[in-house]
Amino acid sequence: MVNYSDKIREISKRLLKDCKVDMIIGFRKGSVPMMNEPHFARTAEDVDELVWDSNCGINLANYLTDRKEKIGVAAKGCDSRNIVTHILENKIKREQLTIIGVPCKGMIDKRKIAGLVEGEVLEVTEDEEQINVKSSGGKKSFKKTEVLQENCAVCIHRNPVVYDEMVAEPVPEQTDVDRYEDVRKIEEMDPEQRWAYFDDLFKECIRCYACRNACPLCYCPTCFVDEAKPQWVGKSQDPIDIRTFHFLRAYHCAGRCTDCGACQRACPVGINMRMLTKKLEKDCKDLYNWEAGLTLDSRPPLDFYRPDDPEDFIK
Amino acid sequence: MDSHRINQLTHQRINQSRRDTDMKIVAIDKKDWEKGLDRLREAYRLIGPVKEDRYHYFRELPQGQAPDFDFFNTRISAKEIVYPQSEDLFEYTLDETKEDYHLLKEVEKDYSPKAVLGIRPCDAKAVELVKLNFDTDDYKDPYWLRAWEATTFVGLACDSPCSTCFCTTAGCGPYHEEGLDVLLADDGDRYVAKVLTEKGENFMKAAGWTEGAEAEARFESGKSAAEEKIVSTVSTEKLRSADTLALHGNEEMWEDISFSCINCGTCTFVCPTCWCFDIQDEVHGKQGRRMRNWDSCMFPIFTVHTTGHNPRGTKLQRVRQRFMHKLKYFVDKYDAGIMCVGCGRCVQQCPVNIDIRRVCDLMDRYGATDACAVEG
Ligand code: SF4
Ligand code: SF4
Ligand code: SF4
Ligand code: SF4
């Protein structure tokens, strides 16, 4: 993926030089292993800081919300789908964007890797399909496919769906993955088991809202959990309020979530709140044959009305 | 409180305890560890690091559970031991048939002695920094102070610090004693304990750990070995001299720093030195309670006025506030160093990798040169 960085820089420099864009949004190399930082470049020198590797799991569509500039943005498959949703929801205009498409083979899971090695992870490097980890306990290598983020392991839209330029040829899409094995397991639980599962899932939540804030869909000027007049949800560590936050947020993402995994990645305590959004994603697929962000030609199923809706309740 | 006074108090405290305890070092055979804990449980509630799923947290240690000392640091800092994320202060009833309706009544809480085992020196020093806010000449926060007074801080020296620890340049260190009542160090099949205060001495007595040891050398060599392992640093020397307005006004620098920030509460919630809170009333039926919850300067609503105006309406302003508070306003106001003990939690846990070490160095550098430029 080294050449991705070079190619992104090359395209970015050209776009800036030709005044096609005012800024480029991409990543710069992080200061700790397995982290890159979303970053912007306005000049050719800034561009040299831009990188692309397997640590670009933050969704860059989140950085486009309501911006006024002309922007060149690096976008992997899921980013591009959230860009589509952003355009549909008037959070950015297509004309403002030059989308630098990045075919993606998945991002690596920093928590999984930390759990697989002895001691503290000190350095992580990659050559194409291999991830090399140096930790305080020694060295280990993994096949990249073994240490992918959970959402990347089952991703079926790795190539950008909208783009103006691609940094490389498209990668083959995964066709043999079972996207919803984990969701089905929960569906099969009886109500008590399921209650216990979600109790346990959110027990460490500190309500930092990193999951919400990392999500490109969560752009409301005042989130319902922050609203004080009227106040919808309590603000303490009461488990009911914590669950209310998570359940309602998930519903607000129904039909819009691309399973980019930014929420799960952002969580400081490692909660997989994607189990909620994935269930809704599965329902949207089952009920409406809908996958979010694949086309600019139609709106998410829960935000428009069709006169030929087969359900009676809405008529 | 001025710095002089703080130093005086700190010295008083240390001198006092040194006199009382004669800086006793005690050896604890690991075979006696659990027995000692059981004896302690008769007089203290014990709290210590416990591994839950992935990370360590401070938890109450019920009978039969020993603290797990095989950890770098806890995911969330130890500040919650005296300053919980949500704390009920008052309760009241809105039921007008009750005699005491509309009266705020203090919520009964357990302030019986508790002891936290295995708090890292950085977190202990952080408690002292937070105290500057909760215990001033003008205001004494009764909830924080009572909880603090009830707590005995039994630290565990850091012999294997993380790559993100920068305590030694943040006014602290892996064997730092400030804020601790006892400092433990692992010594093979025993712990050696430096008893630092009267509280610490009482704790050791309650545990039945009284066998003196000649282990000053273990502490000295351990300290220098551990300090040498700290690979990460910050420069703070010029922060004090930096021109506040010039620093504050460097929009370009702040844009570079803040661009990636998503304004979550991670950095402030996990930080041992962040002290901001919010007061909330919650009513269920006719029963109400007033509580305080941690708040974060990174949240947009932190500063919203009742008029709807938000003086810190942009993310740049909020990020700047966090770093200016920790690395400039605090430095100027208290003359007690930076409001950061170098625990590295925010460095590790910020979802977008905003790194206070980088910001601190930028501020330190910028401040000094610009201050000269302004003057010259
Ligand atoms: S809910 Fe999570 S997975 Fe879905 S779009 Fe938002 S950040 Fe991505
Ligand atoms: S990021 Fe994690 S801890 Fe923070 S609110 Fe979301 S689930 Fe809770
Ligand atoms: S600096 Fe990082 S942890 Fe803090 S609010 Fe910003 S994104 Fe969240
Ligand atoms: S600012 Fe960061 S490194 Fe400093 S004490 Fe707080 S969490 Fe630790």
Whether B374 shows a pLDDT value over 60: the answer reads no
Interface of A with B (CB under 8 A): 30-32, 35-40, 58, 62-63, 111, 115, 120, 122, 136, 204, 206-210, 212-214, 222, 226, 228, 234-238, 265-270
Query: Is the ipTM of this structure higher than 0.90?
Result: yes
Please give the pLDDT value at position A304: 83
What is the rounded distance in angstroms from the CA atom of residue B358 to the CA atom of residue B234? 8
Q: Which of A37, A118, A201, A231 is best to mutate for the B interface (most B CBs within 10 A)? A: A37
pTM for this prediction: 0.93
Q: What is the pLDDT of residue B55?
A: 96
A225 in Cβ contact with A240 (< 8 Å): no
Residues B139 and B286 in one domain: no
- Tell me how far apart the alpha carbons of residues A136 and A184 are, in angstroms, rounded to a whole number: 39
Each residue's pLDDT tens digit, A150-202? 999 999 999 999 999 999 999 999 999 999 999 999 999 999 999 999 999 99
Q: Hey, is the C-beta of B263 within 8 angstroms of any chain A C-beta?
A: yes
pLDDT at B303: 95
Q: Give the CA angle between residues B183, B189, B194 to the nearest 5°.
A: 15
In 3D, which of B297, B299, B300, B289 has the Cα closest to residue B339? B297
pLDDT digits (tens, 9 = 90+) for B79-88: 999 999 999 9
Model confidence over B116-162: pLDDT tens digits? 999 999 999 999 999 999 999 999 999 999 999 999 999 999 999 99
Using the predicted structure, report yes or no on whether residue B254 has a pLDDT greater than 80: yes
What is the mean pLDDT of the segment spanning B36-54? 96
Cβ neighbours around A29 below 10 Å, total: 15
Mean pLDDT, rounded, for A20-28: 98
Residue B87 lies in a domain: yes
* Best of B258, B266, B274, B360 for a ligand 3 pocket test (most atoms within 8 Å of beta carbon): B266
> Which residue of A273, A275, A276 sits with most ligand 2 atoms within 8 Å of its CB, as the best mutation to test the pocket?
A273
B95 lies in the same domain as B215: yes
The set of residues, in sequence order, having a beta carbon less than 8 Å from that of A296 and lying 6+ positions away, is A84, A87, A88, A94, A162
Count of CB atoms situated within 10 Å of the CB of A213:
24
Cβ–Cβ under 8 Å, residues A131 and A145: no
Predicted confidence band at B368 (pLDDT cuts at 50, 70, 90)?
A: low
Confidence (pLDDT) at B250: 94
Which amino acid residue places its CA nearest to atom 6 of ligand 1?
A: A215
Ordered alpha helix ranges (H), B69-176: 121-134, 142-149
Nearest residue (by CA) to ligand 1, atom 5, is A257
Domain ranges of chain A: 1-105+156-174, 110-147, 178-300
Nearest to B76 among A40, A206, A270 (CB): A206
Whether residue B237 lies inside any domain: the answer is no
pLDDT for B370 equals 45
Among B203, B228, B253, where does a domain finish?
Answer: B228
Q: What was the pLDDT predicted at B2? A: 43
Same-domain status, B255 and B220: no
Give the pLDDT band of residue A274 (cuts 50, 70, 90). Answer: very high
Same domain, B184 and B277: no
pLDDT mean over A251-279? 97
Residues of chain B with Cβ-Cβ distance to A237 below 8 Å are 85-86, 293
User: CA-CA distance, A23 to A17, in Å (whole number)?
Assistant: 11
B160 inside 8 A of chain A by CB: yes
Residue B76 confidence (pLDDT) above 90:
yes
Q: What is the DSSP string of A256-294?
A: T-----HHHHH-TT---THHHHHHHHHHHHHHH---TTS
Whether residue B223 is found in the same domain as residue B254: no
Same domain as B137, residue B28: yes
For residue A230, cis peptide bond before it (omega within 30 degrees of 0): yes
CB-based contact A39 B259, cutoff 8 Å: yes
Mean pLDDT (chain B) is 92
> B67: pLDDT confidence band, cut at 50, 70 and 90?
very high
Give a yes or no: residue B125 inside a domain: yes
3-class SS at A165? Answer: strand
pLDDT bucket at B375, cuts 50 / 70 / 90: very low
Q: How far is the CA of B12 from the centre of ligand 3 (A)?
A: 38
Band the pLDDT of A310: cuts 50, 70, 90: confident
**What average pLDDT does the segment A128-153 reach?**
97
Instruction: Say yes or no: B216 and B288 in one domain.
Output: no
Are residues B163 and A269, on separate chains, in Cβ contact within 8 Å? no
User: From residue B9, how far is each of A197, A303, B14 by CA, in Å?
Assistant: 50, 63, 9
Please tell me whether residue A214 adopts helix, strand or coil conformation: helix
Question: What average pLDDT does this structure show over B290-295?
Answer: 97
Domain that holds residue B339: 244-367
Number of domains within chain B: 2
pLDDT band at B6 (very low <50, low <70, confident <90, very high): very low
Alpha helices in chain B (DSSP H): 3-21, 33-41, 121-134, 142-149, 198-207, 216-229, 244-248, 251-258, 266-270, 315-324, 330-334, 345-349, 356-375
Are B28 and B111 contained in the same domain? yes
Residues B284 and B186 in one domain: no
Rg of chain B over Cα atoms, rounded to whole angstroms, equals: 22
Residues B137, B132: Cα–Cα separation, whole Å: 10
pLDDT tens digits, one per residue of B256-286:
999 999 999 999 999 999 999 999 999 999 9
CA dist B225 and B217 (Å) reads 12
Closest CA of chain A from B133, distance in Å: 22
Domain match, B186 and B310 both: no
C-beta neighbour count of A163 within 10 angstroms: 19
Same domain for B126 and B253? Answer: no
B257 and B211 in a common domain: no
Picking from B17, B40, B372, the residue whose alpha carbon sits closest to that of residue B177 is B17
Cβ-defined contact of B300 to A63 (cutoff 8 Å): no
Listed residues B162, B196, B228: the one ending a domain: B228
Contact B349 A36 (CB under 8 A): no
For ligand 2, is residue A271 a contact (CB within 6 Å)? yes
Q: Residue B124 has what pLDDT?
A: 98
pLDDT of residue A311: 77
Q: State which H helix or E strand residue A73 sits in.
A: strand A71-75
